[in-house]
């Protein structure tokens, strides 16, 4: 069951401006990464549903966060159907993120007042997501759609709240481009977690990179 309510989740996403996105098949590595992010000031984290038994890893991670990183809001990404969303909510997911828009996920998430952030690739999809009760929409893949796509959505629907994932880098110029276009927050995966740093177990470098990126996003949030 979610430890944080919908308003707390969204406010934390918007105040930080960044949501780390990560998956690893080794639960101990996942715990180290979450801890490093927490030490770097991160308070919202997306673990992706991308491998065999990912739900089991998430369950252990959820217990770990409850004990060791009490302020961390843990959610799940790469969810494409309602049964999977329901399973993760039962394991403590505080938000659900999809690469696509699935109305059935919106129904189960809304029933529990858990934020559902669907992937949208058109103005029509963003509008439909809002009709379904989705407060935040994910622009995905960001590196394909680009910052101009964000501007195109915001022009006729300025109330739209957006997160972009894909093509986001821990660099001021890149982040400024997205925030200037009108996003409320960004999801960042591999660029925040270089493979060589993960392999070497240099967790302090992950914490430093998180702090550096967080300092940038907080300056750019409008």
What pLDDT score does 222 carry?
Answer: 74
What pLDDT score does 67 carry?
Answer: 97
Q: Convert the pLDDT of each residue in 164-199 to its tens digit.
A: 999 999 999 999 999 999 999 999 999 999 999 999
What pLDDT score does 1 carry?
Answer: 81
CATH of 6-214, one of 3.20.20.70, 3.30.413.10, 3.40.630.30, 3.10.129.10: 3.20.20.70
What pLDDT score does 154 carry?
Answer: 96
Which residue numbers in the chain have pLDDT < 50?
Answer: none
User: Which residues, other chains included, contact 49 with Cβ-Cβ below 8 Å and sequence gap of 6+?
Assistant: 23, 55, 58, 76, 77, 78, 79, 84, 88
Domain boundaries, the chain: 6-214
* CB 116 within 8 Å of CB 99: no
What pLDDT score does 2 carry?
Answer: 85
Instruction: Quickly list H helices, 40-113.
Output: 54-68, 82-90, 103-111
The first and second tokens of residue 1, run together, are: 């069951």
What pLDDT score does 53 carry?
Answer: 95
Pairing between strand 161-165 and 136-139? parallel
Q: What pTM was estimated for this model as a whole?
A: 0.96
């Amino acid at each position: 069951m979610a430890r944080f309510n919908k308003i707390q989740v969204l406010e934390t996403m918007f105040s930080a401006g960044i949501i780390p996105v990560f998956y690893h098949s080794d639960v101990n590595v996942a715990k180290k990464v979450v801890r490093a992010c927490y030490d770097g000031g991160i308070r919202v984290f997306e673990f992706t549903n991308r491998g065999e038994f990912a739900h089991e890893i998430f369950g252990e991670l959820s217990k770990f966060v409850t004990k060791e990183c009490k302020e961390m809001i843990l959610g799940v990404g790469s969810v494409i159907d309602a049964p999977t969303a329901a399973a993760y909510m039962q394991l403590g997911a505080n938000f659900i993120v999809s690469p696509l828009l699935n109305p059935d996920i919106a129904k189960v998430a809304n029933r529990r007042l858990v934020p559902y952030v669907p992937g949208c690739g058109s103005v029509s999809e963003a509008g439909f997501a809002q009709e379904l009760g989705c407060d935040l929409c994910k622009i995905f893949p960001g590196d394909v759609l680009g910052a101009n796509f964000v501007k195109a959505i915001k022009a006729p629907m300025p109330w739209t709240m957006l997160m972009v994932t894909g093509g986001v880098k821990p660099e001021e110029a890149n982040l400024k481009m997205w925030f200037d276009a009108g996003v409320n927050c960004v999801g960042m995966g591999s660029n925040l977690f270089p493979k060589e740093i993960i392999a070497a177990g240099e967790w302090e470098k992950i914490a430093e990179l998180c702090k550096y990126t967080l300092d940038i996003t907080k300056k750019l949030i409008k």
